[in-house]
């Protein structure tokens, strides 16, 4: 995640999407010391609660405002979501299968385990 070349070498961008705001922070390491390079916090105009899939336009607008205000230029970020926004499921797959067989099995399990379309999942 740390940049390797150019002015962003040694930097990391963190992004938090909370129920009340979007926060972005870029830190950079130089000479074994970390410093804040850019940051912004954009409030969401109405609290999102537990399910903000229907309010994605509010989140996108807040993300765009925070990105512009922060001065961050990297596009790769470490993303933080609240625990109630994430679903984790454990799947046991046999190790002797090749990559294609494991992918087929994982997709079949995902259809059974998650109540959303597969294209909405990050597997």
Q: What is the pLDDT of residues 66-90, one digit of tens each?
A: 999 998 888 788 888 777 777 777 7
Q: Which residues have CB under 8 Å from 44's CB, separation 6+?
A: 19, 20, 21, 22, 58, 59, 62
Please indicate whether residue 26 or residue 50 has the higher confidence score (pLDDT): 26
Same domain, residue pair 53 and 105: no
Residue 107 lies in a domain: yes
CA 23, 29, 34, 37 dihedral sign is negative
Chain length of the chain: 123
Q: Same structural domain for residues 56 and 94?
A: no
Q: At residue 26, what are phi and psi to the nearest 5 degrees? A: -115, 130
Q: Both 95 and 40 in a single domain?
A: no
Q: Determine the 3-state secondary structure of 10 from DSSP.
A: coil
How far is it, in rounded angstroms, from Cα 71 to Cα 26? 9
Residue 23 forms part of a structural domain: yes
> Which of 97, 79, 89 lies closest to 114, judged by CA?
89
The answer on 21 and 74 residing in a single domain is: yes
Give me the domain span that covers residue 112: 87-120
Residue 1 has pLDDT above 50, yes or no: no
Helix (H, G, I), strand (E, B) or coil at 25: strand
- The predicted model scores a pTM of 0.61
Contact 29, 11 (CB under 8 A): yes
Strands, E, within 73-112: which ranges? 78-81
pLDDT at 48 over 90: no
């Amino acid at each position: 995640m740390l940049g390797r070349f150019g002015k962003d070498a040694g930097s990391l961008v963190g992004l938090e999407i909370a129920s009340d705001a979007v926060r972005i922070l870029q830190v950079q390491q130089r000479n074994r010391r970390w410093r804040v390079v850019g940051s912004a916090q954009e409030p969401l105009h109405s609290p999102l609660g537990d399910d903000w899939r229907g309010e994605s336009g509010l989140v996108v607008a807040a993300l765009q405002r925070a990105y512009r205000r922060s001065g961050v230029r990297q596009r790769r970020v470490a993303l933080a979501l609240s625990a109630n926004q994430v679903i984790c499921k454990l799947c046991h797959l046999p190790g002797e299968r090749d990559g294609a067989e494991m992918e087929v099995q994982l997709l079949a399990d995902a259809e059974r385990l998650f109540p959303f379309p597969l294209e909405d999942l990050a597997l």
